[in-house]
Structure formats: structure tokens, C-alpha cells
Amino acid sequence: MITDIYIKHENDPGYNAESIVEQEEIQILLAQIKMTLMTPKNSVLGENQYGVDEDKFLFTFSNSFDTIGIENTIRTQLQDHCTLLKNRNWTAKAYIMPDGIDQNRDAIHIMLTIDESVRFVIAYS
């Protein structure tokens, strides 16, 4: 059985203020993914390559934005740091999403598919 510290935020779906440990594997996997993708590079002592340098991608938007580069960065980070993905079939695909209101503001959405059934999006804007 896998056990980890419960780190859901009070605004997350299914948040339980009484919980201090998490034992559901998919919830632990989602926590690993969120921590990896939301941690800026150079912010973890002893592992300066941990995390995604989203600022590098967010502030270099142009018509020739490198979606392949961010996909490769994310795949590498998840392969290296998300132990629960090791025996799963998963993909990561990056999309540029227009703001809809501000023509000069776009977002990067990363669609993660795990075992062809669990899908979620990490959005950088």
C-alpha cells in the first residue's frame, strides 16, 4: 500500500480538512505530477534541475512558440521524478490556447493522459 502526506488545497475537489495522509494511488500520482510541474527550476536545494522552468516558456510566446520543447521538458521531468508513472502508459501534449479577450495573452495547456482514461490539464498563463 502506498501512503503519502495529504497535500490537497482547500479549493481542490474532494478536499478533506481532517485528512493528514493520502492512500489512494491516483491521488498520490496527481500530487507528484502537480509538484513536479508547478515547481520552478533552481528552487529545490540539492536538485537544481527539478521542476519546469515555466517562466522561460511563458515569457517567450510568439508565433513560433516551441510546443515540442515544453512537451520534451515535461516528459523528462515526469519520467525522472514521478515514480508512480513508471509502469503506466502516459502521454503529454502541449497546446497554445488563445485568451479569447486579450489578443496579446495566451496560455499553455498541458494535456496529460494516463492509461488512456485519466486526463487532466495543467495550465500556465
pLDDT of residue 8: 75
Q: Which of 14-18, 95-99, 100-104 has the lowest mean pLDDT?
A: 100-104
Could you tell me the CATH number of the domain that includes residue 75? 3.10.450.40
Give yes or no for residue 119 having a pLDDT over 80. no
- Residue 49's domain comprises 4-124
CA 110/CA 71 separation, integer angstroms: 8
- How many CB atoms are closer than 10 A to CB 49? 12
pLDDT of residue 80: 93
Give yes or no for residue 86 having a pLDDT over 60. yes
Nearest to 95 by CA among 108, 112, 106, 113: 108
Helices (H) and strands (E) in the chain, counts: 3, 5
Residue 117 pLDDT level (bands cut at 50, 70, 90):
confident
pLDDT of residue 1: 65
pLDDT of residue 111: 87
Give yes or no for residue 62 having a pLDDT over 60. no
pLDDT higher for 30 or 54?
30
Quote the mean pLDDT of the chain: 80
Residue 25 pLDDT level (bands cut at 50, 70, 90):
confident
Give yes or no for residue 107 having a pLDDT over 60. yes
pTM for the full predicted model: 0.74
